[in-house]
């Protein structure tokens, strides 16, 4: 077999790529756990029906589907939310609410490859279930903002763009669009930024032949404030809910990160209230994250009525932005300490020293081959070690070993018996 | 749709199961990193050929295979080693050796379900590439032993059972078994513990019709020491290698964890030297881990000749043993601190306090619903919080808040301005 790469749209994570991914994931975990979210996971593939049930048969085009040997139709998961809703539904009323769950699922979509999009990718998911109040929407949006801040981003780098499906429903009804055209209209609006202006206008005319209604739609999307909408189209309860949301975000000190963007509709049919997407400040990349309220989904899977709000953030676009902004500090050491064996060292001594260092929780390595000191120092550099300790030297007769700080280049003699305690104080 | 569970052989990880899994995974990570191993990952599915190339066409029966929409034959990965060998091979000579890699892959095998075996499971993989010396075998076996010790197991709980494919090859040749029967013989020997004694003897007779050779095989497997083998069958280089391995393990202070078990053969064809499996002390469960030397695999995938040694440990059997031995300390708190709002508290105050605690890295939660103090305390218990802080009380006029230690039941008044610094000292 010739040297081959993995399947199209997948990635190999060598230590360098993996360290970058772990930098993102550990920051995600830290944020979620500081907000009191608990981690969950679900199977990597599910019965195909849980996706077609939620998103219609056309979703199958974007899925990796297969039959198992029992002829069951399965699909690699394209998102976690259906599994999460199934898990909540299957526990019925026995599950303690509110639920605060997060997950870092690996996901699969059979899509055309493009910048910021791969066929195999990861997401952060955060969900709050059991709270219908807008306090949950605010807490969740605070979560996504805090996630970005913990990675090092500022309000000059990104914005959360917030809208409301309820408000859009109410506005669309008020300008005379029949409810049976909503689904097609939302689907087009969600595609708006991905297609040309003329394509959008053509498609819009097919759905809304009435010129005056199309001009009202344009007015809605040009609205830059809730006050403007209220003055132009009248008062709706969903406006108050959005106002309350922005008031709550002020309590979190997160006002500067959040803006109204009535044009954010989220394509998926299952959103039932406030929706939002996170974009880089120039909107030059795809969305970093997106989410909203989905109060009907657990019921759809046979569970009790359960208000819910959640978001997903992908690793690919976020990774690009982290690199653009130079926020990744680089790979940590592979081994904090590298033991260098000088001539005539007993291998037993090398291993015993390594074991005592490792047992204290400090990473330690030594050469498994009998090579020159120069070569061992090369290995120490390859391991990005912070310290080397030279074993088997003349000084050992006095119970001393040499330790070298690899960054400063300084060397010190320390007591051999106190290697571990010394390392613990300097690391 | 009715409430459904996930596909057969898969697991839903609710917070409770996930916390248990994370207990195992974080211990795995800690062990690997203390040994200077770097984490890698590979695609969740690969081109089918990389599995059939290594293990023959019959492997397909155990795989989840599917075609993508480009009609490429793919398979969910049943193990990580082929991907790892592909990744090393594709870098050619540019990869810096020695390589010390670990991974915690999610894997899939379409198998009959039984105790300790699921269709979707996780493994720890540790591999050292680029070292042909037995020092690498010793380092890796020390790694698997240390992994078990770090989880809390002792030498009364498990043993690493060590053999050598080279030695078995040499012994089998010396008693007159032709090389072309080896593969079938190893495959049978690997199944030995999974089939009945009479089935084994029947199958053995088919492969080895000669009565005297079968009796020699029995003698080999009854051997309890290398000295016995040497006295009975003569001296072989592989005996010296095993003796050196046991000598090195003594340097690691791990002699009590390792035993010779010549009957460990590892079914897979690609092992080329020392092989080993980890079992619970009574061998009442399936193998916890298994591995060995595989010096030809990178070459098989088109890479340069690369000596290698590695092992894999599954999460399912290990999880059973951890529970048997009561080594799992239980779920950590969901939120270390729960803020309780007393009557008339401004929501702003609640949120601002939570944000300052969260920003210090301490997990904190509060009720998103306006509910009674009693109900909030129930939420605090559900969150397994260590401390509750009562906001909006009379004492706040003096700048004080009440903090309750939920385990001891004790309460103290602390300065509101010093909540974070106080928490940092007591947690």
A19-47 pLDDT, tens digit each: 999 999 999 999 999 999 999 999 999 99
User: So what's the pLDDT on residue A375?
Assistant: 96
pLDDT at B295: 96
Cβ(B100)–Cβ(A334) under 8 Å? yes
From B71, B61, B20, B66, select the one nearest B44 (Cα to Cα): B66
The reported pTM is 0.95
Over the stretch A290-312, which tens digit does the pLDDT of each residue have? Answer: 999 999 999 999 999 999 999 99
CA count, 13 A, side-chain hemisphere, A55: 18
**Res. A3 pLDDT band, cuts 50 70 90:** very low
pLDDT of the residue at A268: 65
Residue B326: partners with Cβ closer than 8 Å, 6 or more residues away = none
Q: Considering only CA atoms, which of B104, B4, B69, B106 is closest in space to residue A109?
A: B69
* Nearest in space to A26 (alpha carbons), one of A207, A151, A210: A151
Q: What is the mean pLDDT of residues A375-382?
A: 96
Q: Where are chain A's structural domains? A: 15-324, 337-426
Cβ–Cβ contact A19 with B under 8 A: yes
Q: Which of A5, A8, A11, A12 to mutate to test the interface with B (most CBs of B within 10 A)?
A: A12
Test B53 with A347 for CB contact under 8 angstroms: no
Strand duo B99-103 + B73-76: pairing: unpaired
Chain B residues 141-180 within an 8 A CB cutoff of chain A: 142, 146
Listed by number, the residues of chain A in 255-284 with a beta carbon closer than 8 Å to a beta carbon of chain B are: none
pLDDT of A164 reads 96
Looking at per-residue pLDDT, the higher value among A318 and A9 belongs to A318
Contact A290, A266 (CB under 8 A): yes
pLDDT tens track for A381-415:
999 999 999 999 999 999 999 999 999 999 999 99
Chain B contact probe: residue of A27, A44, A315, A420 with most B CBs at under 10 A? A44
Residues lower than pLDDT 70 in chain B: 1-3, 113, 115-116, 268-269
pLDDT (0 to 100) of residue A1: 43
Which residue stretches of B301-346 are H helix?
315-324
B50 interfacial to chain A (CB closer than 8 Å): yes
Decide if domain B15-324 falls under CATH 3.40.50.620.
no
Domain B337-426 CATH class label: alpha beta
Provide the 10 A C-beta neighbour count for residue B215. 10
In DSSP notation, A261-277 reads -TT---S-TT--SEEEE
Categorize the per-residue pLDDT at A248 as very low, low, confident or very high, splitting at 50, 70 and 90.
Answer: very high
Three state DSSP letters for A305-342? CCCEEEEEEEHHHHHHHHHHCCCCCCCCCCCCEEEEEC
The SS3 of residue A375 is helix
So what's the pLDDT on residue B3?
47
pLDDT the model gives residue B116: 66
User: Is B123 strand, coil or helix?
Assistant: strand
Residues A44, B6: C-beta atoms closer than 8 Å: no
Taking alpha carbons only, the member of B296, B371, B295 closest to residue B338 is B371
What's the confidence (pLDDT) of residue A113? 66
* Chain B CB within 8 Å of residue A59 CB: no
Neighbours of B368 (CB within 10 A): 23
From chain A, the residues in CB contact with B1 under 8 A are 49-50, 53, 300-302
Indicate which of A17, A107, A351 best probes the interface with B, i.e. most B CBs within 10 Å of its own CB.
Answer: A351
**Distance between CA atoms of B54 and A280, rounded to whole angstroms?**
45
H helix runs in A155-312, sequence order: 165-174, 182-191, 197-207, 211-222, 226-233, 237-251, 297-300
> What is the structure's pLDDT at B1?
43
Q: How confident is the model at residue A192 (pLDDT cuts 50, 70, 90)?
A: confident
Query: What pLDDT does B191 receive?
Result: 85
The mean per-residue pLDDT over the stretch A192-217 comes to 92
Give yes or no for a contact between B107 and B126, defined as CB atoms under 8 angstroms apart.
no
Q: What pLDDT was estimated at residue B68?
A: 82
Lowest mean pLDDT, pick from A76-80, A84-88, A224-228, A340-344:
A340-344
Residue A2 has pLDDT above 50, yes or no: no
| pLDDT given at position A71 | 86
How many angstroms separate the CA atoms of B167 and B239, rounded? 7
Quote the pLDDT of residue A37: 98
Question: Given B43, B50, B98, which is nearest A11 (Cβ)?
Answer: B43
């Amino acid at each position: 077999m010739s040297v081959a790469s993995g399947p199209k749209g997948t990635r190999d994570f060598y230590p360098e790529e993996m360290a970058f991914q772990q930098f993102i994931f550990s920051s995600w975990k830290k944020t979620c756990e500081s907000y009191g979210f608990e981690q969950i996971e679900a199977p990597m593939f599910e019965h195909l029906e849980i996706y077609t049930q939620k998103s219609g048969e056309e979703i199958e085009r974007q899925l990796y589907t297969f039959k198992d040997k029992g002829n069951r139709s399965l699909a690699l998961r394209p998102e976690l939310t259906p599994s999460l809703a199934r898990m909540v539904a299957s526990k019925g009323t026995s599950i303690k609410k509110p639920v605060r769950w997060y997950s870092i699922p690996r996901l699969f979509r059979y899509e055309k490859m493009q910048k910021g999009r791969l066929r195999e990718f990861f997401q952060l998911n955060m969900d709050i279930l059991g709270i219908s109040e807008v306090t949950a929407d605010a807490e969740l949006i605070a979560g996504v903002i805090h996630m970005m801040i913990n990675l090092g981003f500022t309000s000059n780098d990104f914005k959360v763009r917030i809208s409301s499906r309820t408000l859009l429903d109410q506005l669309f009804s008020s300008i005379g669009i029949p409810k049976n055209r909503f689904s097609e209209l939302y689907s087009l609006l969600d595609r708006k930024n991905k297609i040309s202006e003329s394509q959008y206008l053509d498609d819009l005319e097919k759905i809304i032949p009435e010129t005056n209604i199309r001009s009202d739609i344009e007015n809605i999307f040009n609205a830059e404030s809730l006050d403007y909408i209220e003055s132009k189209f009248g008062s709706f309860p969903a406006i108050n809910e959005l106002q309350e949301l922005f008031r709550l975000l002020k309590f979190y000190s997160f006002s500067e990160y959040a803006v109204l963007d009535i044009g954010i509709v989220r394509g998926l049919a299952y959103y039932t209230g406030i929706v939002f997407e996170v974009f880089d400040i120039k909107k030059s990349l795809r969305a970093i994250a997106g989410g909203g309220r989905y109060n009907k989904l657990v019921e759809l899977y046979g569970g009790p009525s359960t208000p819910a709000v959640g978001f997903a953030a992908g690793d690919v676009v976020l990774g690009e932005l982290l690199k653009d902004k130079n926020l990744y500090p680089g790979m940590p050491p592979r081994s904090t300490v590298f033991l260098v064996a000088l001539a005539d060292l007993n291998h037993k001594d090398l291993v015993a020293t390594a074991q005592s260092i490792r047992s204290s929780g400090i990473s330690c390595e030594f050469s498994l081959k009998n090579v020159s000191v120069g070569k061992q120092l090369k290995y120490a550099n390859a391991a990005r070690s912070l310290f080397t300790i030279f074993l088997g030297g003349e000084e050992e007769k006095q119970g001393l070993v040499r330790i070298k700080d690899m960054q400063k280049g300084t060397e010190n003699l320390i007591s051999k018996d106190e290697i571990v305690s010394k390392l613990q104080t300097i690391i």
